[in-house]
Amino acid sequence: MKRRLVFTLVLVFLVTGILAGCGNKDEKTITFWTPLTGDDGAYMDQIVKDYNATEPEIKVKHVITSDMYTKLSTVLNSGKGVPDLAIIHADRVPGYVKQGALEEMTTLLGAQPELKAENYLPQAWSTGTIDGTQYTVPLDIHSNTMYYNKDLLKKYNAESFLDDNVVTIDEMLSLQGKLDEGDYVVNDALLGWVILAQIQNLGGDIQEDGKPAVNTPVMKEAFESVKKIADAGLMTPFGEDGYLMFQSQNVLFSTDGTWSSTAHAGVEGLNFGVTNIYSTTPDKYTNRSSSHLFTMMKNEKRTDEKEAGVGSFLEFIRQNSMEWAKAGQIVASKQVNESPEYQNYMQSFFTSNEKEIESLYIYTYEYYPYIAEAVDTYCADIVRGNVDIDETLQTMQKFVDDKVAEASSAN
């Protein structure tokens, strides 16, 4: 009996110790969720590893979540398993703030005085500012961009297109009938982003008096302007992978993302550079962009110590995010993007002067995600002439209005 009692007591102590250890470990770990499922996830892993190597009092655990927004909704509703820190996209901020799902950064920023607007790209910082309150700290701006094949530009005597950093649709149309069979002026990569850039180039917007504005003259003009390229046979064929066709050196311009520079650089023999997205006018160019933002979701279980730890981590990243430049991202921290080393990265083109920085346009309208979904869903068929543009714009408007109504009823 004595031996059995001793064994029981030892077992109790062991279990108690294990549970205490688990609890202590949780208190000393910042759970950090991101949607970085591509190669960029590995770069963030390295940043976290570098931070933890400094032996902070509270370390960071990076958790990559493929369907992060769905899972965030689940944990916010249950109040269980809410991460201490997360990366969200800029267009999610207004909706989350309206729902009361984000913590204010006021205390954290007060403890880290260098985490301030002056130390970041302006539009990356301001996307997290709602009614004068800061809810996020930016990591980057990731932008639509246009890569060009230097050899093909020279072959077709089109190098002058780049002289003013604005390639116009009219300049592209000037190559009609001059290309070898199988060659194209531009692909349809991120076509929806390109359309949304033209909205800004044309002086338009995607909302009127706070309501989504999709079925509008400026949206129609944006589509019709880009459609001219496809109608002239200068855009890569419908259904073909224009991104790969650019890498195969059959396309002069590729309108994909800043993050693609690493993949293009890995293609043997591809002699390429970067410029702005093509425009309807030589007077203005816009590169539709977004931003990865650090934020803290509402979580009553997050301790003051953990919040202080989050602040220390974000300050580390402000000073040490050159690793993120390797992922092809436009680093938001001025300490990084103004450094000599950063100029070795292709995306430094977009922070080379004030005009380029201003071209990085981030939509912050509350219902932007619905509008972007509608544009992405229907843009290829409109540009290729597969559908009637007026009827489809009506369909798109209804699509967005229905989404807004559904979201409003859910709240």
Which of 269, 215, 214 lies closest to 247, judged by CA?
Answer: 269
Confidence of residue 12 (pLDDT cuts 50, 70, 90): very low
Cβ neighbours for 138, distance < 8 A, ≥ 6 positions apart = 120, 121, 124, 125, 127, 128, 291, 292, 293, 294, 332
Ordered by where they begin, the domains of the chain are 31-139+291-362 (3.40.190.10), 144-289+367-410 (3.40.190.10)
Determine contact, residues 400/212, Cβ cutoff 8 Å.
Answer: yes
pLDDT tens readout for residues 147-205: 999 999 999 999 999 999 999 999 999 999 999 999 999 999 999 999 999 999 999 99
pLDDT tens readout for residues 360-369: 999 999 999 9
Residue 9 has pLDDT above 80, yes or no: no
Rounded Cα gap, residues 81 and 71, in angstroms: 10
The tokens of 175 are what?
């190559």
Residue 13 has pLDDT above 50, yes or no: no
Model pLDDT, residue 263: 95
In DSSP notation, 199-223 reads: HHHTT--SEETTEE--SSHHHHHHH
- Show contacts of 73-80: CB within 8 Å, 24+ apart: 75/297, 76/101, 76/297, 76/298, 79/300
Residue 281 has pLDDT above 70, yes or no: yes
Residue 331 has pLDDT above 80, yes or no: yes
Model pLDDT, residue 409: 80
| Residue range 10-28: mean pLDDT, rounded | 46
Determine contact, residues 396/222, Cβ cutoff 8 Å.
Answer: no
The tokens of 249 are what?
């050196």
Helix (H, G, I), strand (E, B) or coil at 47: helix
Q: Sort strands 211-212 and 292-295 into parallel, antiparallel or unpaired.
A: unpaired
| Residue range 203-226: mean pLDDT, rounded | 97
Percent of the chain surpassing pLDDT 70: 94
Confidence of residue 11 (pLDDT cuts 50, 70, 90): very low
Tell me the pLDDT of the chain averaged across its residues. 93
Determine contact, residues 277/285, Cβ cutoff 8 Å.
Answer: yes
Cβ neighbours for 61, distance < 8 A, ≥ 6 positions apart = 29, 30, 31, 32, 48
Query: How far is C-alpha 59 from the geometric centre of its chain's CA atoms?
Result: 26
What predicted TM-score, i.e. pTM, was given to this entire model?
Answer: 0.91
- Show contacts of 229-234: CB within 8 Å, 24+ apart: 229/169, 229/172, 229/173, 229/185, 229/186, 230/383, 230/384, 230/385, 231/385, 232/173, 232/176, 233/176, 234/172, 234/173, 234/175, 234/176, 234/179, 234/184, 234/185, 234/186
Percent of the chain surpassing pLDDT 90: 91
Identity of the residue numbered 22: C
Q: Nearest-5° angle of CA 34, CA 36, CA 38?
A: 165
| Residue range 243-258: mean pLDDT, rounded | 98
Determine contact, residues 253/167, Cβ cutoff 8 Å.
Answer: yes
| Residue range 125-141: mean pLDDT, rounded | 97
The tokens of 255 are what?
């309108």
